[in-house]
Amino acid sequence: MSAENPGAPTEPTATAEPTASTESSAAAAEPREPLRYDHLEVEPRWQRVWDEQETFRAVRDPASTRPKRYVLDMFPYPSGDGLHVGHPEGYTATDIMSRYWRMAGIDVLHPMGWDAFGLPAEQYAIRTGTHPSETTARNIGNFKRQLKMLGFSYDWSREVSTTDPRYVRWTQWIFLQLFKKGLAYQDEITVNWCPALGTVLANEEVTDGKSEHGHPVERVPLRQWMLRITAYADRLADDLKLVDWPEGTLAMQRAWIGRSEGATITFAVEGYEGDTLKVFTTRPDTLMGVTYVVLAPEHPIADWMIKTPGKVPDERREAVQRYVAATVNRSDRDRLTSAAKEKTGVDTGLVAVHPITGQKVPVWVADYVLGGYGTGAVMAVPGHDERDFAFARAHGLPIAEVVSPDGKLHGTLEAAFTDEGIAVQSGAFDGLTTAACKSAVVVTLKGLGRGDGQVSYKLRDWVFSRQRYWGEPIPIYFPVELESPDGDPRKGAPHRVLFDQPIAVDEAELPLTLPDLVDFRPGNDPAGALARAVDWRYFQKEGRWYARETNTMPQWAGSCWYYLRFIDPQNDAEIFSEAAYDAWMPVDLYIGGAEHAVLHLLYARFWHKVLHDLGRVKHPEPFTKLVHQGMILGEDGEKMSKSRGNVVNPDDIVRVWGADVLRLYEMFMGPLEAVKPWQSSQIQGVVRFRDRVYAVATRALGDTLQDDTARLLHRTVKKVTRDLEGMSFNTVISTLMIFVNHLAGLASPPREAVHKLILMVSPFAPHVGEELWRLTGHEKSLAYEPWPTWDEALCVDDVVEVPVQVNGKVRGRIILAKDATEDQARAAALESVGSTLAGKQVKKFIYVPGKIANVVVG
């Protein structure tokens, strides 16, 4: 361990192989002629040096008082397509910060791994007849090659894959903790089931009742494992104040959680023998304006009336039956999208009874109400809800005004009034403000036994089951009840699996690994592909038969906690040690795409809070600062995709121009968070910058640092450092370009200035940086070289430019000493605008030191 830098590994040198050897120090320090930069030779050489010497291995002394930074990328799914040039943008940003912080004397953990379970690998394996494990391993190899090709300073000794049994073990261990706490449970819920694909699909994967491949999708009840994320809804919302995240992401998280205060209200439905109809509303003050009630197509009352002739006229019942059949298999997303354009629905013929007035209102079925949200029914107040207003207009239903902005009636409403106001046409509640009316209505309902105040959430418990092969097995098994005590369920003996008696796999038996199936297609069995692995599924224990769970975990599972495994990836005794946690957590900088702004981040925060309650983690939030890199579009301004033919392969850019050029270009395109189109024609600008840096540093260097160069050097170091801290990478490069242009104009660039230039360039262009550091007489890698500092006195201007106004209009500019007197400013100003003053009398002179001079004339 280096005495100068206790956080660094054994000092890396550039002499690990003959091609990295230095010449004599004198020759290396003073090359007489500029050298040609050969990226095809230099870049692979330095990558080998970094690998062989483990230059970026993260080491931290438990007793160290040095600051630390845990810098994390959202780790990739290793698809068969490899990286395109949009992917490295975020990785380059984290690498720049990691390299800068190491040089600033900070211990840095910068790991990389693979989110490798999931449907794409399984589908590819099915199409090609290869096992998903083979496909995944091959894809990981290609991704890793590309990341190393780009010179990222990852600690590869900490590499993890979510498919590694050593990793799966701890994913399953976390699931068991959830199970023991009652946070993992089974439920029969309505899901999007695609028989052709043999799997459950997310709402986003269903359009017009079909999968993206055009296969019919059914909405069917299915036994699923659920995670009780709703138990953490308040904490997930409240703790957002603890993190430094983009405001848009915070807003999306809050909206997804959707905490709202309101009331649950009970309506009786005439003729219905089941439970009363309950609705939740955030506006109980509008209860007196209910003119109809709407059921989701999945609602039990709709199902009851379809199956119970005689309760309504047959034509009504048949119309509801047709409507439900046409809408129930459409995804929630599809229904909400279409409902925004067309308000469809059917009058059931049933009537509901208003809980306060006793008035009877019609009951409708409409697809803009979703069975999975709230109670699956809404009280419609068209005067004060935009969706209800549009529906009422479309179907000729009454619209009542019960909230007025000024307490007066306004006749026919032309639009829903959704703001707060004064209650009108509301009986005993007339004249109350919205807030007072809410409270009064809840008190009245509670007294009648027909409602109460309630907090509700849009957030729903997490559906955790997948009917696929390529995922983590859920470590649960169930007793098997045989018709014959001598039967063998593996051989088809009649039996029943007692799903209501789940048993946790003993933690000592983890990991529960996947069987090596030859046919891993899902099929049309909701039990999933693992149900066919009968020798794996069924087993005997103490003379009794049991059946393993055949559902697997979703891809989200492995990505929920990977940041914790990176801190102690080789630990087989526990998920991670306390010492490792104390050394590195929490994550200081997390960079990834905005597409993960809700689900991944929400699920990871949920698991982290569960581990916090178990005493395994010490911070309530895992990710302190979050940054979303902007998308890099194709040259046609569209999202890069193979189907559009606009994908740019980083291998091609690196082969022609080098990795450092790719890194510099992506950071120079604009602000990190901005969406930017790729423009190959602009690459030449950063190529020239790289080559100019190389040319300046390989010229004969001088020992004299002239005042003007010294001032520009220190101002450059200051601005580069400040902009780096603010992650304003494009302005850093612009600043360095100005400085390089200055040095290029000098006969003998000063050695001090060139050395500091190399250090500042190196986080962006590490191969060029390392090579120039070697060529300017340094044997060791610059990875842990101290970051340049600046002298504040040299950053202060002695003179300022001041605009000169005549009667308030700028007519000239003057250069003044910062401490110039008003008399000096007056003399310079009058001289500069002398021609403007011809024939005029100066009546007044106003001088704001260093800011402006104003001559008032008459």
**In this structure, are residues 86 and 631 in contact, taking their beta carbons and an 8 Å threshold?**
yes
Q: Is 848 exposed, middle or buried (0-12, 13-18, 19+ CB in 10 A)?
A: exposed
Measured between alpha carbons, how far is 683 from 823 in angstroms, rounded to an integer? Answer: 52
Measured between alpha carbons, how far is 611 from 836 in angstroms, rounded to an integer? Answer: 76
- Dihedral in degrees, nearest 10, Cα atoms 510, 516, 519, 523: 0
Strands 538-541 and 544-548: antiparallel
For 191, the enclosing helix (H) or strand (E) is: strand 184-194
**In this structure, are residues 412 and 436 in contact, taking their beta carbons and an 8 Å threshold?**
no
Measured between alpha carbons, how far is 770 from 780 in angstroms, rounded to an integer? Answer: 9
Which one, of 227, 122, 249, 235, lies nearest residue 560 by Cα? 227
Name residues whose C-beta falls within 8 Å of residue 237's C-beta, 6 or more positions apart in sequence. 253, 254, 257, 259
- Dihedral in degrees, nearest 10, Cα atoms 638, 641, 644, 650: 90
- At position 690, the amino acid (one-letter code) is R
Count of other CB atoms within 10 angstroms of residue 86 = 22
3-state SS, residue 71: strand
Chain center to CA of 482: 48
DSSP structure class, residue 269: E
How far from 691 is each of 19, 38, 249, CA to CA, in Å?
21, 10, 40
Which one, of 472, 546, 493, lies nearest residue 176 by Cα? 472
How far from 577 is each of 71, 564, 581, CA to CA, in Å?
19, 10, 6
- Dihedral in degrees, nearest 10, Cα atoms 228, 233, 236, 238: -160
- At position 552, the amino acid (one-letter code) is T
Measured between alpha carbons, how far is 568 from 575 in angstroms, rounded to an integer? Answer: 8
Measured between alpha carbons, how far is 673 from 249 in angstroms, rounded to an integer? Answer: 13
Strands 68-73 and 107-109: parallel
Total residues belonging to the chain: 858
DSSP structure class, residue 587: B
CA distance from start to end of the chain: 77
The dihedrals phi and psi of 830, each to the nearest 5 degrees, come to -65, -35
Q: Give 195's strand partners.
A: none
642 is an annotated ligand-binding site residue: yes
**In this structure, are residues 674 and 727 in contact, taking their beta carbons and an 8 Å threshold?**
no
Chain center to CA of 44: 32
Give me the DSSP letters along 177-241. Answer: HHHHTT-EEEEEEEEEEETTTTEEE-GGGEETTEETTS-B-EEEEEEEEEE-GGGGHHHHHHGGG
**Which residues are annotated binding-site positions?**
642
Binding site for ATP, by residue number, is 642
